[in-house]
Structure 1
Amino acid sequence: MAPRKMKCLKLTTPSCPQINAWIASKAACKDPYYGKCYGIPLACPPGCPKLCEIECKACKPYCACDKPGAICQDPRFIGGDGVMFYFHGKKDKDFCLISDPKIHINAHFIGKKSKKGRDFTWVQAIALLYKQHKLYIGAKNVTHWHDTNDNMLMHFDEGDVQIPFGESQEWRSPKAGIIVKRTAMTNVVEVEVLEVMKMKVRVVPITMEESRVHGYDISEDGNCYAHLELGFKFESLSGDVNGVLGQTYASGYRSRVKMGAAMPIMGGAKKFQTSNIFSVDCVVSRFGLEMSI
């Protein structure tokens, strides 16, 4: 008889991979250029025991969510200036993350009510607009989490993006200069817009430990709140770039968050909000404008 599926946050569910989230996984350098480090499994740090990256040059593991350009958790941002801040936005709304003359990226937020007077929110999907093209990447609605299931949805222009299962499998759009490559068997891809940017996208659920620490009470409604963790690396942006994350890469930017606060908050939600995930109508939009000199 096939094993029964159990909810991912019950303490009595030994089959749920998230129950063992504190058991350290390992990662390895995947660049053969670094021969002394290439392929050697290294234990992930305590701060990210299940998911980490390897700095091949130093041959050390690190938490991707602590690098500049990262967006993780209840959205926790690391700006291009290295300063950490939170931007909660609002559930079921869309916000501009990056807006530059040649590229624009929006995020759709999901969330739930909390006892702290605001919604808990997470990034459920993103839309990348480049030239006349549109790429959508989102997390499926998940009630039972299994690491072996692919919980990522991708669409390009009017069609689905289908990538064969397996690490290093990829999809390309030569006309747009966009490459989407799997960097794990499931739920993790790297998106490259040639000569513009790279973006790591990972689908993750809310873990039991996160729910306990932050008071999410996720187990009550049977929804794992699968969401995206993002990491950006930019090759070319204008000095006038804007958006929740983009502004931190702009020329002369100075952080407005309260330094030293336990939860430094980035405000200004209204100027970053868009009418839908594919819209560029946020107040700070730069998309399609001529490059700043």
Structure 2
Amino acid sequence: MGSPWIVFVNLCFCFIPSVVRARKAACHNPIYGTCFGIKHNCPAACPRFCEVDCRLCKPYCACDKPGAVCQDPRFVGGDGIMFYFHGRKNKDFCLVSDSEIHINAHFIGKRSKKGRDFTWVQSIGILFGGHRFYLGARTVAKWQESTENMLIKLNGEDIAIPNVEGKTWQSPETGLKVLRLADTNKVKVKVEGLFEIAVRVVPITSEESRVHGYDITAEDCFAHLELYFKFESISKMVDRVLGQTYRPTYQSRVKMAAPMPVMGGVEKFASSHLFATDCVVSKFRLETEEDGAPLRVACGSSYGGKGILCKR
């Protein structure tokens, strides 16, 4: 089933300016020849993360479209309704579960003075066609946009892409393609006929920390992911935090009149690790070994805890 595009701290420490200079975005689809490659300034409402509508040749705010997962996690569902899902720090949660695709997210954060966790999505783990795809933000103290702070893996192996906008990496055997949307920290991931995800690694800005009381320290700028999903083939039974909002019969239960409409039910969305399919109401069809036994995947941290390594 097709669907439209849905995926700083203390200033003296990380020195991330509160006034963010507008980034640029471009159309990367050569079919649109008159727009292809032309760079546009991101709108003032979203200076850090925007996409370009190749048909209209105009930029738009990716975090405001259906399928967006940004900030403290602020979701825009497939039904167009915005809500927050805070989860818990250092825990994994299922975002999408369907027969052909399963997406979990790892949340990082810190405890607020009001007793709840401030959280952000640090990494995602995607299961599809017997493969495991990892994309995460590295832990960094001092943010530099010119430094690559993104870690990408396919089936446990690092994916290295030249730090040049427009460069691509692809795996013919899996159908996975990764396109650089900027020299660093922004890519688009695609599996033809299944999904596309625009991903950017961003830090917490000094202004965000001040306004929201995050109280970020010098040790960690809490680099995290902003995501913008497009699903090309999902069923009417798709489920979990974001996935359920694409079901034709879904009715949002969040209190839209609230200043911050929050989706609860943390326990029913929890997963035991980034590549687990053990969340409640998992829909993913597990791949099997040649003898028909379920495919067993062991996962653990690697590279000093900055990534996930999975082996059969």
Q: TM-score, normalised by structure 2?
A: 0.84
Q: Which residue of 2 aligns with 1:43?
A: 41
Contact 2:26 2:52 in 1 (8 A): yes
Q: Which residue of 2 aligns with 1:180?
A: 178
Q: Which residue of 2 aligns with 1:282?
A: 279
Distance of 1:132 and 1:212 partners within structure 2: 44
* CA distance 1:38–1:162, shift in 2 (3 Å): closer
Which residue identity does 2:98 align to in structure 1? D
For residue 244 of structure 2, give the secondary structure of its aligned residue in structure 1.
helix
Distance of 2:58 and 2:105 partners within structure 1: 31
Alpha-carbon shift at residue 265 of structure 1 (Å): 0.5
Distance of 1:25 and 1:238 partners within structure 2: 35
Contact 2:91 2:106 in 1 (8 A): yes
Alpha-carbon shift at residue 161 of structure 1 (Å): 1.2
Alignment counterpart, residue 259 of structure 1, candidates 251, 256, 266:
256
Distance of 1:102 and 1:41 partners within structure 2: 35
Which residue identity does 1:94 align to in structure 2? D
Gaps of 5+ in 2: 1-7, 288-312
Alpha-carbon shift at residue 192 of structure 1 (Å): 0.7
Are 1:132 and 2:130 matched, yes or no? yes
Alpha-carbon shift at residue 31 of structure 1 (Å): 4.1
Distance of 2:111 and 2:240 partners within structure 1: 25
Gaps of 5+ in 1: 1-7
Higher-RCO chain (CA-CA 8 Å, sequence separation at least 6):
2
Alignment counterpart, residue 154 of structure 1, candidates 152, 155, 159:
152
Give the share of equivalent positions with the same residue, in percent: 58
Cα deviation digits, residues 132-190 of structure 1 (max 9, x gap): 11011111011010001001111111311111221122222212111112111011111
Contact 1:9 1:19 in 2 (8 A): no
Alpha-carbon shift at residue 50 of structure 1 (Å): 3.0
Distance of 1:69 and 1:240 partners within structure 2: 17
Which residue identity does 2:124 align to in structure 1? I
Q: Which residue of 1 aligns with 2:199?
A: 201
Alpha-carbon shift at residue 32 of structure 1 (Å): 5.0
Q: Which residue of 1 aligns with 2:290?
A: none
Contact 1:108 1:124 in 2 (8 A): yes
Alpha-carbon shift at residue 43 of structure 1 (Å): 3.2
For residue 138 of structure 1, give the secondary structure of its aligned residue in structure 2.
strand
Q: Which residue of 1 aligns with 2:299?
A: none
Aligned residues: 280
Alpha-carbon shift at residue 222 of structure 1 (Å): 3.0
Distance of 2:11 and 2:100 partners within structure 1: 48
Which residue identity does 1:282 align to in structure 2? C
Distance of 1:158 and 1:38 partners within structure 2: 34
Distance of 2:169 and 2:40 partners within structure 1: 29
Q: TM-score, normalised by structure 1?
A: 0.89
Distance of 2:66 and 2:85 partners within structure 1: 15
Alpha-carbon shift at residue 26 of structure 1 (Å): 3.7
Which residue identity does 1:279 align to in structure 2? A
For residue 19 of structure 1, give the secondary structure of its aligned residue in structure 2.
coil
- 1:71-220 map, 5 Å: 71-218=69-216, 220=217
Which residue identity does 1:262 align to in structure 2? P
Over the aligned positions, Cα root-mean-square deviation in angstroms equals 2.1
Distance of 1:275 and 1:237 partners within structure 2: 24
* CA distance 1:198–1:27, shift in 2 (3 Å): closer
Distance of 1:151 and 1:52 partners within structure 2: 19
